[in-house]
Copies of this chain bind each other. A is one copy, B any other.
Amino acid sequence: MQWYLVAALLTVLTSSQGILTTLSQSEGRYLYDYATVPFLAEFFKLVVSGLLLWREHRTSPSVRMTTDWRTVRLYPIPSVIYLIHNNVQFATLTYVDTSTYQIMGNLKIVTTGILFRLFLRRKLSNLQWMAIVLLAVGTTTSQVKGCGEASCDSLFSAPIQGYLLGILSACLSALAGVYTEFLMKKNNDSFYWQNVQLYTFGVIFNMAWLLLDDFRSGFENGAWWQHLLNGYGITTWMVVLNLGSTGLLVSWLMKYADNIVKVYSTSMAMLLTMVLSIYLFSFKPTLQLFLGIIICMMSLHMYFAPPNMLVDLPTTIKAPHPPEGLKEVSIEQRTDS
């Protein structure tokens, strides 16, 4: 499968995620416990990956599966990073409001680029760096509060701790992505086996999280498994299936493409959600959304288009022939003498 088809599918599914989540609410609130959704999605991913691993193992018994502890112990780390990230996120929101938090979230595009360069040692051209910054600028532009909306004085007036935690949050989010890519590309293990390890720890950490919630609330609603599917409707199940599927696609991109492709997919999804919301939830289209879309499209083209499509390279266009000619001539000369 081509990576750009997977990326396009991820864009569509990530975009549907926001819309399905909104549709799953009744009168602006959730009838179900939203914390159960990520748990069930992890469980779904584990079951799918397990089945696919079983099928793979049946058709070709030589499937590569590293099972020694030194490799397996690396798989809970993404879950640990996400856990820390969740807590930093909560801490950030005590200092800044949600719209400032949303704006700062775009920083993770840039931090992903930086960690991608530092940890995975992937070289990017100047133009690609500019494209990454422009992608972050484009998504931020689309989120600029328009006139008529509530006051946005808060943006430049949060305490410094809020901004520092926002930056930390962006770094952790990028780190989780970059680390997962490192893990998936580390060896030639079966993709499904890697997923099974990743999601097993995902399920465990999510269960622990749900249990912690129960302890916090003093088990006033009983244990989490007793009210797991309370209030679930068809849309809620679609939210779960959708979240699980996007997770599997992200995992595929981490192994066969990279973090930057993922970042582009999810950023485009955010814009697509905003455009679809105009039709579905009669959101008012804004000038800044339109500008943001243009900026992100330019960024996409700058990052992925081959350089000779972007700039005129007189030497490169003529280059392929002379060197070949040179070789031929050299050979002829050698046979002459």
Contacts and interface: CB of A to CB of B under 8 A. Distances in A.
A104 to B, nearest CB: 11
Interface residues of A, number: 54
Interface stretch (A21-29, A146-154, A227-235, A242-250): A146-154
Q: Binding site of A, secondary structure by majority: helix, strand, loop or mixed?
A: helix
A5 interface: no
A315 interface: yes
A222 B309 CA distance: 63
Contacts of A319: 315-316, 319, 322
A313 B323 contact: no
Interface stretch (A64-72, A136-144, A176-184): A136-144
Given A316-B316, A319-B316, A137 B295 contact: yes
Contacts of A309: 126
Given A313-B316, A316-B315, A323-B322, A103 B137 contact: no
A68 B103 CA distance: 62
A130 interface: yes
A103 B290 CA distance: 13
A163 to B, nearest CB: 13
